[in-house]
Amino acid sequence: MLLALEGVNTYYGKSHVLKDVALEVAKGEVVALLGRNGSGRSTTLKTIMGVAPPKTGTIRLDGTPIERRNPFTLARRGIAFVPEDRRIFPNLTVAENLRLAALSGRKGPWTEKRIFDYFAVLGERRNSLARLSGGEQQMLAIARALIANPEIILLDEPMEGLAPLVARSVEEVVRNIKSEGNTILLVEQNAEVAMSLADRGYILSNGRVMASGPIDQLRADPEMMQRYLAV
């Protein structure tokens, strides 16, 4: 198993946010974390990335415990995090944003040339400051993750705040990345979109995993879907 969490408990101060969370992601899978706002989905990604380290529990990458590592070390180990707020450097050019991300990454198929071929709009703006539209910022945020040639991408709300047409473009990018065998742990508020992209899902509520399984299996329980996702 590429990524595995077992008995993970995360706190914000005295607030117990993740409660005995256990999940697995195999190489080449897209796994969706499903649930309402406040269910603990984004905190799960931040916990894996070392931004909100767990108080107890184990996180393993390729069998090696990583729950005490800092974000920079985890990036070097092959975890790429695309946060909801994107964290683009607007005073750097598009190309400089990519080169900075590549410094903490590894050698692999995703080169600067391939990124600009793959994301044509970024190629057109490579020498421009990264003061981009929301959709272009999200494309750059995903491109920065890819150029690090990670083992797994943690993708947090990639369609958040985007106009429907732009959101569909970002969805198509994620779908294309999946088709190339990239491993993704996805948080996306639109449950239908998340399930259309994912192979398997985990449903969270109040920081606990309430159900998990292949997407078709989760869809087959409409009562549970209504209770936790309201879809």
**Mean pLDDT across the chain:** 95
Structure tokens at 92: 């750097």
> What is the reported pLDDT for 109?
93
As a whole number of angstroms, the distance between CA 133 and CA 23 comes to 35
> What is the reported pLDDT for 227?
93
Backbone torsions φ then ψ of 41, nearest 5 degrees? -65, -55
> What is the reported pLDDT for 106?
86
Write b or e for each residue in 39-48: b if 16 or more Cβ atoms lie within 10 A of its Cβ, otherwise e.
bbbbbbbbbb
Contact 152, 110 (CB under 8 A): no
pLDDT over threshold 90, residue 190: yes
Quote the pTM value: 0.95
pLDDT over threshold 90, residue 44: yes
Distances (CA, A) of 197 to 15, 171, 230: 32, 8, 19
> Position 132: which residue type?
L
pLDDT over threshold 80, residue 178: yes
Using the structure block, give the residue that is written with the tokens 């990670």: 150
At 138, is the pLDDT very low, low, confident or very high (cuts 50, 70, 90)?
A: very high
Give percent of the chain with pLDDT exceeding 70.
100
pLDDT over threshold 60, residue 96: yes
Give percent of the chain with pLDDT exceeding 90.
94
Judged on CB neighbours under 10 Å (0-12, 13-18, 19+), 190 is middle
Q: Which residues contact 158 (CB under 8 A, 6 or more apart)?
A: 82, 138, 141, 142, 170, 171, 174, 186, 188
pLDDT over threshold 60, residue 231: no
Task: Please state the rounded mean pLDDT for residues 95-99.
Answer: 97
As a whole number of angstroms, the distance between CA 132 and CA 125 comes to 9
pLDDT over threshold 90, residue 193: yes
> What is the reported pLDDT for 177?
94
